[in-house]
Structure 1
Amino acid sequence: MTALSMLAGIALVLVGLFDMFHTLLHPRGKGRLSHAVIVAFWKGSAALGHRFGSAVGPGGMVAVIILWVLLQGVGWALIYAPHLPEAFSYSGVDPAQKGPLTEPLYVAFMTLSTLGYGDVVPNADWVRVIAPLEALTGFALLTAAMTWFMQVHPALARRRTLALRLAALADAEYAAELSQLEPSSAARTLETLTADLAGVCVDLSQHSESYFFQEEDPEQSLARQLPHVLELRDAGREAPSADVRATARALSEVISHLAQKIQGFVKVEGEPEEVFRAYADDHARRQRE
Structure 2
Amino acid sequence: MTWIFTVLGFIIIGVGLRDVFHTLLHPSGQGGLTKAAMNSTWRISKPLGLKAVSLAGPFGIVAVILLWAALQVLGWALVYYPHVPQGFTYADGINPSRYPDFIEALYISTVTLSTLGFGDVIATDPWIRALSPAEALIGFALLTAAVSWFLQLYPALARRRALALRLTVLRDGLYLQHLSEFTPETTSRVLDSITDGIIQTRVDLTQTSESYYFRESTAAASLATSLSYAVALSELAKDLADPEVRASGLALHHSLQDLSTLMSNSLGIKGSTTDDTFQSYASDHKYDYQPQDPSNR
TM-score under structure 1 length normalisation: 0.96
Displacement of 1:126 in angstroms is: 1.2
Could you tell me whether the CA contact under 8 Å between 1:12 and 1:74 is conserved in 2?
Answer: yes
Does residue 25 of the first structure (1) align with residue 25 of the second (2)? yes
Name the residue aligned to 1:270: 272
Could you tell me whether the CA contact under 8 Å between 1:50 and 1:285 is conserved in 2?
Answer: no
Name the residue aligned to 2:40: 40
Q: Distance in 1 between matches of 2:106 and 2:274?
A: 51
Secondary structure of the equivalent of 2:122? strand
Displacement of 1:259 in angstroms is: 0.5
Does residue 111 of the first structure (1) align with residue 139 of the second (2)? no
Displacement of 1:101 in angstroms is: 2.2
Displacement of 1:177 in angstroms is: 1.6
| Deviation sequence 1:43-87 (CA, Å, 0-9, x none) | 111222443143110100100011101100010000000001111
Q: Distance in 2 between matches of 1:238 and 1:76?
A: 62
Name the residue aligned to 1:234: 235
Name the residue aligned to 2:128: 127
TM-score under structure 2 length normalisation: 0.94
- Greater displacement, 28-37 / 94-103: 94-103
Name the residue aligned to 2:2: 2
Name the residue aligned to 1:98: 99
Q: Distance in 2 between matches of 1:151 and 1:268?
A: 27
| Deviation sequence 1:98-139 (CA, Å, 0-9, x none) | 212210000000000000111100112211111110000000
Does residue 280 of the first structure (1) align with residue 282 of the second (2)? yes
Q: Distance in 1 between matches of 2:121 and 2:283?
A: 54
Q: Distance in 2 between matches of 1:151 and 1:95?
A: 44
How has the CA–CA distance of structure 1 residues 230 and 14 changed in structure 2, closer, same or farther, with 3 Å as cutoff?
Answer: same
Does residue 251 of the first structure (1) align with residue 252 of the second (2)? yes
User: Which 4+ runs in 1 deviate beyond 3 A?
Assistant: none
Name the residue aligned to 2:192: 191
1:28-107 paired onto structure 2 within 5 Å: 28-92=28-92, 93-107=94-108
Letter in 1 for 2:5: S
Does residue 217 of the first structure (1) align with residue 218 of the second (2)? yes
**Higher relative contact order, chain-length normalized (CA < 8 Å, sep 6+):** 1
- Greater displacement, 63-72 / 255-264: 255-264
Secondary structure of the equivalent of 1:89? strand
Letter in 1 for 2:47: A
Secondary structure of the equivalent of 1:62? helix
Q: Which runs of 5+ in 1 are unaligned?
A: none
Could you tell me whether the CA contact under 8 Å between 2:77 and 2:108 is conserved in 1?
Answer: yes
Secondary structure of the equivalent of 1:121? strand
Could you tell me whether the CA contact under 8 Å between 2:168 and 2:226 is conserved in 1?
Answer: yes
Identity %: 42
Displacement of 1:239 in angstroms is: 2.5
Q: Distance in 2 between matches of 1:154 and 1:162?
A: 12
Displacement of 1:217 in angstroms is: 1.4
| Deviation sequence 1:251-286 (CA, Å, 0-9, x none) | 111011000111132431321110010010000169
Q: Distance in 1 between matches of 2:254 and 2:198?
A: 10
Secondary structure of the equivalent of 1:86? coil
Equivalent pairs counted in the alignment come to 286
Aligned Cα root-mean-square deviation (Å): 1.3
Could you tell me whether the CA contact under 8 Å between 2:57 and 2:211 is conserved in 1?
Answer: yes
Could you tell me whether the CA contact under 8 Å between 1:41 and 1:56 is conserved in 2?
Answer: yes
Could you tell me whether the CA contact under 8 Å between 2:271 and 2:280 is conserved in 1?
Answer: no
Letter in 2 for 1:272: T
Q: Distance in 2 between matches of 1:71 and 1:134?
A: 12
Letter in 2 for 1:283: H
- Greater displacement, 268-277 / 59-68: 268-277
Secondary structure of the equivalent of 2:267? helix
